[in-house]
């Protein structure tokens, strides 16, 4: 028998605490679309996406109505396009094919304009990476990601240097549009193959032909749970328990939506990504959760420990709730998309240095960080190298999504609008890593024993 308290709790989570399904992402393999004739390849890409995702948006809309849960984004991820450009040149044509397909099926974003170069560049990789700024400035829905390091392969420093330049060029190419090109690029270390979240989603080569992955949300729900009556003097262990229970409920919702969407579309269900994804909406903030635990403001000493506790508890609760957990799974800390993070940066409490420490224990890395417009590509490459090293050594996914705000300086605010929010321009250390970055080559993979 249904309990009315449970019913009201669910409705309150959705109505007042911003609980939603952040994304239902359909992963589509494009491996059967390779063709040495670029026009034929693009046609195959368009046809396959249009065929597989024809009913994707409608199925999600039906589920949204049936269960009363908002599904914010419907997206598509595809096989890293570099694998197709190996057979056909002119990679930008693929970006346009992806855009056309995304427009036809009505999804918000399509990810997979990607290359995996953690150990070196294969045919097609360099051409694709160099075309990213042009591709992202000429399209609106296409997202790009490049994996430049892994625990088993080390870090490809040539790719790190290249990505520093590509991010700058993408920002410059979209300077009249909030430098948004750079917000659609993610540089990964240890990228995962089933991530449903943009801009880093791509459909890994180990995945089935077509699959449904779901990303949940819910920072507002977690914060609300630990601010309830009786939690005022709770010890840390009790806080972890409450987070676990809340994550369980959120994940069960994701699991239900994912399996229903997969069944409606006749494709296998992939994973639920347990990530706590904040939005700029008041209350839907990961920083507020940390502050609710007892920090004066995000960025204070103790922030890294509080985030580690949060990240771990979310995973433990979520793993119990779903038969298939994957993706990035943890707490995201995107600056521009989190009201509490924005305030902390503006007040000077949260600096890039502290943020880097937080990325060692969060689910991804430096996300939606706006840096001054005159930041040289070498410094961006240095930021990427540091993040990649944290991921490589700690066996975790790390990522960099930095946006050089062309024409802006520290203290200014770059407005994106919508879910992307607004990013205060953060100070960067101006000492040059140019010689280190310019050496090129590969940082060897780390030792897997003698762990201290």
Partner 1 sequence: MGILAAITAKCAEANVNISDMSQTVMQDLFVMTMLADISQCRVAFTDLSDTLKQCGKEMSMQVHVMHEDIFNSMHRI
List the structure tokens of 429: 């250390």
Write down the least CB distance from residue 246 to partner 1, Å: 10
Spatial distance between the Cα atoms of 323 and 206, rounded to a whole number of angstroms: 19
- Distances from the Cα of 334 to the Cαs of 318, 341, 346, 356, in angstroms? 21, 8, 14, 12
Binder among 43, 252, 316, 354 for partner 1 (CB under 8 A): 252
Write down the least CB distance from residue 252 to partner 1, Å: 5
Q: Which is nearer to partner 1, 4 or 448 (CB)?
A: 4
List the structure tokens of 97: 């094919």
Per the CB < 8 A criterion, the answer to whether 95 and 135 are in contact is yes
List the structure tokens of 334: 């995107």
Residue 10 in contact with partner 1, rule: CB under 8 A: yes
Q: Which is nearer to partner 1, 320 or 393 (CB)?
A: 320
List the structure tokens of 186: 């993610």
**Residue bearing tokens 């949300």:** 217
Binder among 87, 256, 352, 445 for partner 1 (CB under 8 A): 256
Write down the least CB distance from residue 194 to partner 1, Å: 21
Q: What are phi and psi of 444, to 5 degrees?
A: -65, 155
What is the dihedral sign for C-alpha 443, 205, 198, 304? negative
In the window 383-412, what residues touch partner 1 (CB under 8 A)?
A: none
Residue 261 in contact with partner 1, rule: CB under 8 A: no
Write down the least CB distance from residue 216 to partner 1, Å: 11
Pairing of strands 71-78, 21-28: parallel
Q: Which is nearer to partner 1, 162 or 216 (CB)?
A: 216
Write down the least CB distance from residue 322 to partner 1, Å: 10
Write down the least CB distance from residue 226 to partner 1, Å: 18
Angle (CA) 208-35-81 rounded to 5° is 55
Spatial distance between the Cα atoms of 158 and 73, rounded to a whole number of angstroms: 35
* Burial grade of 89 (CB within 10 A; 0-12, 13-18, 19 or more): exposed
Write down the least CB distance from residue 70 to partner 1, Å: 12
Residue 228 in contact with partner 1, rule: CB under 8 A: no
- Helical ranges in 146-210 per DSSP H: 157-173, 180-183
Q: Which is nearer to partner 1, 148 or 321 (CB)?
A: 321
**Residue bearing tokens 């750079």:** 182
Per the CB < 8 A criterion, the answer to whether 257 and 69 are in contact is yes
The DSSP call for residue 426 is: P
Write down the least CB distance from residue 255 to partner 1, Å: 7
Provide CB contacts within 8 A for 184, sequence distance 6+. 136, 142, 143, 144, 170, 198, 199
Write down the least CB distance from residue 155 to partner 1, Å: 41
Q: Which is nearer to partner 1, 142 or 216 (CB)?
A: 216
Q: How many residues does the chain have?
A: 452
Q: Which is nearer to partner 1, 146 or 257 (CB)?
A: 257
- Helical ranges in 69-119 per DSSP H: 82-85, 92-105
Specify whether the backbone of 124 is left (phi greater than 0), alpha (psi in -120 to 50) or beta.
left
Residue 3 in contact with partner 1, rule: CB under 8 A: yes
3-state DSSP assignment of residue 269 = strand
How many residues in the shown chain lie near partner 1 by CB under 8 A? Answer: 21
Residue 263 in contact with partner 1, rule: CB under 8 A: no
In Å, the largest CA–CA distance within the chain is: 68
Residue 6 in contact with partner 1, rule: CB under 8 A: yes
Q: Which H helix or E strand runs over 58?
A: helix 56-67
Residue 354 in contact with partner 1, rule: CB under 8 A: no
Binder among 255, 349, 377, 397 for partner 1 (CB under 8 A): 255
Q: Which is nearer to partner 1, 253 or 369 (CB)?
A: 253
Pairing of strands 154-156, 142-150: antiparallel
Write down the least CB distance from residue 299 to partner 1, Å: 33
In the window 138-177, what residues touch partner 1 (CB under 8 A)?
A: none
Write down the least CB distance from residue 328 to partner 1, Å: 22
Residue 11 in contact with partner 1, rule: CB under 8 A: yes
3-state DSSP assignment of residue 166 = helix
Binder among 56, 74, 75, 249 for partner 1 (CB under 8 A): 249
Q: Which is nearer to partner 1, 168 or 315 (CB)?
A: 315
Q: Which is nearer to partner 1, 10 or 108 (CB)?
A: 10
Q: Which is nearer to partner 1, 15 or 238 (CB)?
A: 15
Using the contact rule CB under 8 A, the part of the chain among 249-257, 265-273, 347-355, 398-406 near partner 1 is 249-257
In the window 51-90, what residues touch partner 1 (CB under 8 A)?
A: 62, 65-69
Write down the least CB distance from residue 242 to partner 1, Å: 15
Binding site for partner 1 (CB under 8 A): 1-4, 6-11, 62, 65-69, 249, 252-253, 255-256
């Amino acid at each position: 028998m249904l309990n009315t308290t449970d019913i009201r709790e669910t409705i309150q989570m959705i109505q007042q605490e911003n609980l939603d399904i952040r994304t239902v992402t359909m992963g589509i393999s494009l491996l059967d679309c390779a063709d040495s004739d670029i026009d034929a390849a693009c046609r195959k890409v368009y046809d396959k996406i249009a065929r597989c995702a024809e009913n994707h948006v409608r199925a999600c809309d039906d589920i949204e109505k049936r269960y009363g849960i908002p599904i914010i984004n419907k997206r598509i991820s595809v096989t890293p396009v570099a694998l197709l450009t190996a057979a056909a040149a002119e990679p930008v044509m693929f970006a346009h094919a992806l855009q056309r397909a995304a427009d036809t099926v009505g999804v918000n974003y399509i990810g997979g304009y990607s290359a995996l170069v953690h150990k070196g560049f294969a045919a097609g990789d360099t051409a694709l990476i160099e075309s990213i700024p042009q591709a992202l400035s000429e399209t609106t829905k296409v997202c790009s990601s490049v994996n430049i390091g892994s625990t088993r392969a080390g870090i490809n420093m040539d790719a790190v240097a290249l990505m520093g330049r590509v991010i700058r060029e993408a920002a410059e190419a979209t300077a009249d549009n909030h430098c948004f090109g750079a917000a659609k690029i993610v540089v990964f270390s240890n990228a995962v193959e089933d991530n449903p979240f943009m801009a880093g989603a791509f459909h890994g080569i180990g995945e089935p032909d077509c699959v449904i992955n779901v990303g949940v949300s819910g920072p507002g729900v977690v914060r609300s749970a630990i601010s309830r009556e009786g939690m005022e003097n709770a010890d840390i262990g009790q806080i972890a328990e409450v987070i676990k229970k809340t994550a369980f409920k959120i994940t069960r919702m994701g699991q239900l939506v994912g399996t229903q969407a997969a069944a409606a579309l006749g494709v296998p269900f992939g994973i639920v990504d347990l990530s706590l994804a904040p939005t700029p909406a008041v209350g839907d903030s990961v920083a507020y959760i940390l502050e609710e635990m007892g920090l004066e403001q995000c960025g204070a000493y103790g922030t890294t420990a509080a985030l580690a506790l949060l990240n771990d508890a979310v995973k433990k609760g979520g793993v119990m709730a779903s038969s298939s957990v994957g993706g990035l799974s943890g707490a995201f800390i995107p600056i521009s998309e989190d009201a509490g993070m924005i305030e902390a940066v503006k007040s000077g409490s949260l600096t890039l240095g502290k943020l880097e420490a937080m990325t060692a224990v969060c689910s991804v890395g430096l996300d939606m960080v706006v840096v001054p417009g005159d930041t040289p590509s070498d410094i961006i490459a240095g930021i990427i190298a540091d993040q990649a090293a944290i991921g490589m050594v700690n066996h975790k996914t790390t990522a960099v999504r930095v946006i050089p705000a062309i024409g802006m300086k520290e203290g200014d605010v770059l407005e994106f609008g919508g879910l992307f929010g607004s990013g205060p321009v953060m100070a960067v250390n101006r000492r040059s890593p140019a010689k280190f970055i310019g050496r090129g080559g590969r940082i060897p993979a780390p030792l897997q024993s003698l762990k201290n």
